[in-house]
Structure 1
């Protein structure tokens, strides 16, 4: 589920320019990811939901290796938005961050557990989406089917 969320997040960035999920709640049966969608200002259309699902599943179906490497915090700060990390993550001049890579498709800082290959994920199914006009948050609920 965690690796699928990485692919979903990377796809949202590519499709909508909205940035990574601002919050996630990942469970075995069903998960959700919230995106700051104020730049779009609406819910996804059914066509967009279908396209998002197709692209994520195409990436899963590529059977990509999922790897992690440690990089200096300063180098990671040049490439990634680290604003959600605790201040302790940057402690000391030798601070390192773990970057998880899903093949050549997605890279982001992460401490979570992942599969070693996308072939282990199954297929992503978007259960629902909704947009909260007051907060500007788009919530995507999703499941994995084996």
Structure 2
């Protein structure tokens, strides 16, 4: 299958290092807390915000552990790759709850090494070495939602 499948157009341009860090953070939250991927997301170059439904507020130690784990994944210099699959097959493997009703019949699956995989039409780096250092700059817990605000210290040119 050499021909490029027709996918939905993306309605915004994310900052690829932060968007790829979002994938890693989402998987880290799923693994640590058994929660779903972020419910609300706002990704930008200067800072990004993600909200997770959690029954209790994580401790300061858990927040530090989230940051450590995300940076450990980034430091592995994992490849970020894509594959295409029919929506029916993707539904058997992934949560398609955020998929728009008019989603194309073929979905793009973005993989961050063996750490994370999910349907996504956003822009990403090609290797986690391009992300830089992940820093949680603030958190907030209200009404069962835990917000993480993060920033990236980007690598110098030639470091990645």
Task: Tell me the TM-score normalised to structure 1 length.
Answer: 0.91
Runs of 4+ in 1 over 4 A off after TM superposition: none
Q: How does 1:22-101 map to 2 (within 5 A)?
A: 22-37=39-54, 41-89=55-103, 95-101=105-111
Deviation at 1:42, TM superposition (A): 2.0
Residue-by-residue CA offset, 1:86-138 (whole Å, 9 max, x unaligned): 11115xxxx111100000100011110000000000010001111112xx211
Unaligned runs of 5+ in 1: none
Decide which of 118, 125, 144 is 2:135's aligned counterpart. 125
Equivalent position of 1:145 in the other structure: 153
Q: Provide the aligned length of Structure 1 versus Structure 2.
A: 137
Equivalent position of 2:26 in the other structure: 9
| More divergent stretch after superposition (123-132 vs 6-15) | 123-132
SS in 2 for 1:88: coil
Residue-by-residue CA offset, 1:11-50 (whole Å, 9 max, x unaligned): 000000001011110000100011111xxx2222110011
Q: Distance in 1 between matches of 2:57 and 2:34?
A: 15
